[in-house]
Amino acid sequence: MKLDVHVHPGSRSASIGGNYDGALVVRVRARAVDGAATKEVLDVVADAFNVRSAAVHLVRGATSRRKVLVIDGEDEKLERQLFLLLGPAIK
């Protein structure tokens, strides 16, 4: 499954949920220095979707707040979890 995310580095706590301009919001504690925030984004997304960290891949946006990820797994199960994270108003 392909997923657009909007990253908030330097947050108080790591969390996932909500929508920003059509992208899933991911908050991470790490600062955007030397790829630390990006690595934490991959880990937080893996936890939220109940997949291994190795199943989440960065496709685009290594140095940007807007990133495109690919999550390996059953699309139907992943889409159900995305629906729960974004809420019913988002398709």
Domain boundaries, the chain: 2-75
Q: How many CA atoms lie within 13 A of 28 on its CB side?
A: 24
Determine the 3-state secondary structure of 50 from DSSP: coil
Q: What is the pLDDT of residue 90?
A: 45
Domain 2-75 fold is Conserved Hypothetical Protein Mth637; Chain: A; (3.30.1200)
Q: What is the pLDDT of residue 84?
A: 84
Question: In 13-65, where do the E strands start and end?
Answer: 15-20, 23-27, 56-60
pLDDT digits (tens, 9 = 90+) for 36-72: 999 999 999 999 999 999 999 999 999 999 999 999 9
What's phi and psi for 43, nearest 5 deg? -70, -45
pLDDT above 90 (res 86): no
Mean of pLDDT values over 19-31:
93
Q: What is the pLDDT of residue 91?
A: 42
pTM: 0.88
